[in-house]
């Protein structure tokens, strides 16, 4: 089975997972960057350096369901053990909330990768599975099942100008992961674990993470210990994403984890950074008006005065607003008629926010541009532009 028909078939399949287009948001971003990747452990080789350029397209609807597609090209900087590459990813996410605490999900991802030298290599893989999350106060628990299939092909020269050897592998994996995190403010900490069976053998992992978030963006520091068919590996590092009013900065520094599906082993360490520029957004500044989720009252230098309102359950005793623009500290709202209201200054940029109803995370049904956040919850998006 060739990679191209599989890619087209999957793209058509995941297109049906995006729901409720009336509240959907679509963004197109171009990215430029560079990376350095160390050789696999035990190999006496130089690190590989790459320049990268790509395109990322995302489409999300109410509830956090959506699609993300990316295409990335890499150019090696004259290293003998690094080759030019092209990679593509199509990911689909389906989310459904059950009550105020439970979230069910389904994630699918198709990955294609091709490198030209030193040995021509092509791989395609499709993986994903269901997940379930529950949050009670500051504690969040997530469990996910993962399955995948794929195919890889590598071509090795017997002689530079002679015949070649072609090696093909059928890839597969089954397993699961779990995560428990604690915290409600800008800092969350947790533990993770996983168990996987694959064509290459058994993999287990366990680790810890700390997540920092605020109006500046989000960063995660984590470390994991992997037991693989080739021995034990310690992986981890720093991952961050920083929005900057139409721009974004994403990066990683550390040692990547092994992949039970493609059987890729981690390098000795490395890092990379991508600078993105949003070139299209279906709704750069959506305000709901007096009866909607939020209303821009006035504009100033680099910020806007925003009135945020929501309709909570009739039994609600207290409602608080929190988001990256409050540094995830709760701000009490006042009841006005049948709605709860808060007014505050919000700086220019893209922001995530939500509510606490009687100390439980909550988003009303009329929340717009809803996406899953890094804690497995749903967060609403508020975009402020044109106020500089």
Break the chain into its structural domains and give their ranges. Answer: 3-170+254-281, 294-384
Q: What is the pLDDT of residue 32?
A: 96
pTM of the entire structure? Answer: 0.67
Q: What is the pLDDT of residue 227?
A: 94
Q: Do domains 3-170+254-281 and 294-384 have the same CATH topology?
A: no
Instruction: Tell me which architecture the domain covering 3-170+254-281 has in CATH.
Output: Beta Barrel (2.40)
Q: What is the pLDDT of residue 386?
A: 62
Compute the distance between CA of residue 179 and CA of residue 209 in angstroms, rounded to an integer: 10
Q: Which CATH superfamily is domain 294-384 in?
A: Immunoglobulins (2.60.40.10)
Residue 99's region, left for phi above 0, alpha for psi from -120 to 50, else beta, is left
Q: What is the pLDDT of residue 99?
A: 66
Q: What is the pLDDT of residue 300?
A: 73
SS (H, E, C) the chain: CCHHHHHHHHHHHHHCCCCCHHHCEEEEEEEEEEEEECCECCCCCCCEEEEEEEEEEEEECCCCCEEEEEEEEEEECCCCCCCCEEEEEEEEEEEEEECCCEEEEEEEEEEEEEECCCCCEEEEEEEEEEEEEEEECCEEEEEEEEEEEEEEEEEEECCCCCCEEEEEEEEEEEEEEEEEEECCCCEEEEEEEEEEEECCEEEEEEEEEEEEEECCEEEEEEEEEEEECCEEEEEEEEEEEEECCCEEEEEEEEECCCCCCCCCCCECCEEEEEEEEEEEECCCCCCCCCCCCEEEEEEECCEEEEEEEECCCCCCCCEEEEEHHHCCCCEECEEECCEEEEEEEEECEEEEEEEEECCEEECCCCCCCEEECCCCCEEEEEEECCCC
Q: What is the pLDDT of residue 10?
A: 33
Q: What is the pLDDT of residue 244?
A: 72
Of 84, 162, 175, residue with least CA distance to 127:
175
Q: What is the pLDDT of residue 230?
A: 86
Q: What is the pLDDT of residue 90?
A: 96
What b-and-e string marks burial along 178-210, b requiring 16 or more CB atoms within 10 Å of the CB?
A: ebebebbebebebebebbbebebeebebebebe
Q: What is the pLDDT of residue 61?
A: 62
CA dihedral (37, 43, 46, 47) in degrees, to 10, reads: 0
Of 121, 65, 160, residue with least CA distance to 264:
121
pLDDT tens string for the chain (388 positions)? 333 333 333 333 333 333 333 345 678 999 999 988 877 656 666 778 889 999 999 887 655 678 999 999 988 886 555 568 899 999 998 877 776 678 888 999 999 999 877 678 899 999 999 999 887 778 889 999 999 999 998 887 655 555 577 888 899 999 999 999 988 667 889 999 999 999 889 999 999 999 887 667 788 999 999 999 988 989 999 998 887 767 888 899 998 888 888 767 666 678 899 999 988 876 544 444 444 577 888 777 778 888 898 888 888 888 999 888 888 888 999 887 778 899 988 888 888 898 988 888 888 776 766 776 655 567 888 888 765 5
Burial class of residue 136 in the structure, from the number of CB atoms within 10 Å of its CB (0-12 exposed, 13-18 middle, 19+ buried): exposed
């Amino acid at each position: 089975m060739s990679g191209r028909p599989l890619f087209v078939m999957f793209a058509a399949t995941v297109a049906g997972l995006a729901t409720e287009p009336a509240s959907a948001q679509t963004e197109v971003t171009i990215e430029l960057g560079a990376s350095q990747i160390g050789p696999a452990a035990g190999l006496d080789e130089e690190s590989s350096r790459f320049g990268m350029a790509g395109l990322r397209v995302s489409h999300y609807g109410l509830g956090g369901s959506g699609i993300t597609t990316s295409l990335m090209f890499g150019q090696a900087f004259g290293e003998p053990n690094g080759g030019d590459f092209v990679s593509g990813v199509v990911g689909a996410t389906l989310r459904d909330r059950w009550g105020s605490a439970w979230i069910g999900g389904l994630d699918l991802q198709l990955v294609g990768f091709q490198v030209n030298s030193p040995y021509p290599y092509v791989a395609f893989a499709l993986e994903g599975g269901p997940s379930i999350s529950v949050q009670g106060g500051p504690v969040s628990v997530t469990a996910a099942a993962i399955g995948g299939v794929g195919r890889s092909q590598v071509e090795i020269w017997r002689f530079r100008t002679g015949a070649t050897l072609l090696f093909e592998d059928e890839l597969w994996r089954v397993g699961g992961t779990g995560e428990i995190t604690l915290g409600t403010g800008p800092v969350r900490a947790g533990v993770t674990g996983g168990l996987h069976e694959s064509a290459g053998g058994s993999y287990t992992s366990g680790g810890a993470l700390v997540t920092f978030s605020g109006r500046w963006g989000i960063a995660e520091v984590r470390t994991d210990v992997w037991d693989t068919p080739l021995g034990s590996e310690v992986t981890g590092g720093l991952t961050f994403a920083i929005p900057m009013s139409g721009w974004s900065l994403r990066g990683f520094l550390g040692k990547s984890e092994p992949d039970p599906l493609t059987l890729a082993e981690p390098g000795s360490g490395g890092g990379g950074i991508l600078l993105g520029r949003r070139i299209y957004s279906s709704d750069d500044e959506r305000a709901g008006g007096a009866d909607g989720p939020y209303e821009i009252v006035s504009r100033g230098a680099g910020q806007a005065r925003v009135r945020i309102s929501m309709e909570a359950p009739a039994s609600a005793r207290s409602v608080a607003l929190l988001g990256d623009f409050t540094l995830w500290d709760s701000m009490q709202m006042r009841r006005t008629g049948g709605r709860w209201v808060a007014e505050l200054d919000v700086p220019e940029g893209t922001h995530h926010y939500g509510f606490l109803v009687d100390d439980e995370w909550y988003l009303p049904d009329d929340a717009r541009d809803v996406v899953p956040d890094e804690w497995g919850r749903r967060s609403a998006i508020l975009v402020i532009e044109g106020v500089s």
